[in-house]
Amino acid sequence: MLTDSDGDLIPDGLEDLNHDGDYDAPAETNLCSDQTDGDGIADGVEDANHNGVKDPTETDPRLTDTDGDLIGDGIEVPGCSDPLLTDSDYDGLDDGIEDVNLNGYQDGLETNLCNANSDSDLWNFQDGWEVLYGFDPLDPDDPDGTLDLDSDGLTNNEEALNNTNPFNPDTDGDAMPDGWEVDNLLAPTDPADAYDDLEPDGRRNLDEYKRGFNPRLAEPCGNDKYGRWCFGESNGNGIWDSPDLIALKQLAVGAGGNYPYTLPHSGDALDLNGNSVFDAPDIISMKQLMVGAYSGYLSDGDTLHLESEAALDMEVGDWEEISVSLRSTWDVTRGGVGVVFYFDSGSDKGELWGGDGSAVPEGSSPPESFPSGSRYCVTDDMDSGGQATIWFKATGAGSAVIKAAVPASSLRLSNALGPNASVSINITSP
Give pLDDT tens digits for 289-305.
Answer: 443 222 233 444 567 78
More confident residue, 239 or 430: 430
- pLDDT tier at 377, thresholds 50, 70, 90: confident
Torsion (CA) 19, 22, 26, 28 in degrees, nearest 10? 40
- pLDDT tens-digit readout, 45-93: 999 999 999 999 999 999 999 999 999 999 999 999 999 999 999 999 9
Alpha helices, DSSP H, located in 120-255: 127-132, 156-161, 178-183, 205-211, 242-253
Reduced to 3 states (helix: H, G, I; strand: E, B; else coil), residue 309 is: coil
Q: How confident is the model at residue 278 (pLDDT cuts 50, 70, 90)?
A: low
In order of their start, the domains of the chain are: 228-294 (1.10.1330), 303-428 (2.60.40.10)
Residue pair 203/332 in contact (Cβ under 8 Å)? The answer is: no
pLDDT at 331: 61
Weakest-pLDDT range from 113-117, 232-236, 241-245, 263-267: 263-267
pLDDT over 60 at 367, yes or no = no
Kindly tell me if the per-residue pLDDT of 265 is higher than 60: no
Q: Is the pLDDT of residue 34 over 70?
A: yes
Residues 6+ apart with CB under 8 A from 348: 396, 398
Residues sharing a CB contact under 8 Å with residue 274, sequence separation 6 or more, in sequence order:
225
pLDDT tens string 188-246:
999 999 988 786 655 678 877 876 777 877 554 333 333 333 333 455 444 445 555 55
Give the pLDDT of residue 307. Answer: 87
The percent of residues in the chain predicted with pLDDT above 70, rounded, is 67
Q: Which residue has the higher pLDDT, 267 or 369?
A: 369
Mean pLDDT over 307-331 rounds to: 85
Amino acid occupying residue 226 = Y
CA dist., res. 216 & res. 391, Å (int): 20
pLDDT higher at 24 or 223: 24
Q: Show Cβ contacts of residue 423 under 8 Å, excluding neighbours closer than 6 positions.
A: 306, 308, 309, 310, 311, 312, 322, 392, 401, 402, 403
User: Is residue 348 over pLDDT 80?
Assistant: yes
pLDDT at 223: 34
Please tell me the least confidently modeled range out of 3-17, 255-269, 365-379: 255-269
| pTM across the whole model | 0.52
pLDDT at 178: 96
Residue 146 has pLDDT above 70, yes or no: yes
Residue 285's alpha-carbon distances to 251, 273, 288, 298, in angstroms, are 16, 8, 5, 17
Per-residue pLDDT of 155-189, as tens digits, reads 999 999 999 999 999 999 999 999 999 999 999 99
Helix, strand, coil % in the chain, rounded to nearest 5: 20, 15, 65
Whether omega before 260 lies within 30 degrees of 0, making that bond cis, reads no
Question: Rg (Cα) of the chain, in Å, rounded?
Answer: 34
What span, in angstroms and rounded, lies between the C-alpha atoms of 114 and 91? 9
> CB atoms < 10 A from the CB of 172, how many?
20
pLDDT of amino acid 370? 66
Cβ count within 10 A of residue 170: 19
Share of the chain above pLDDT 90, in %: 47
Give the CB-side neighbour count of residue 414, counting CA atoms within 13 A: 2
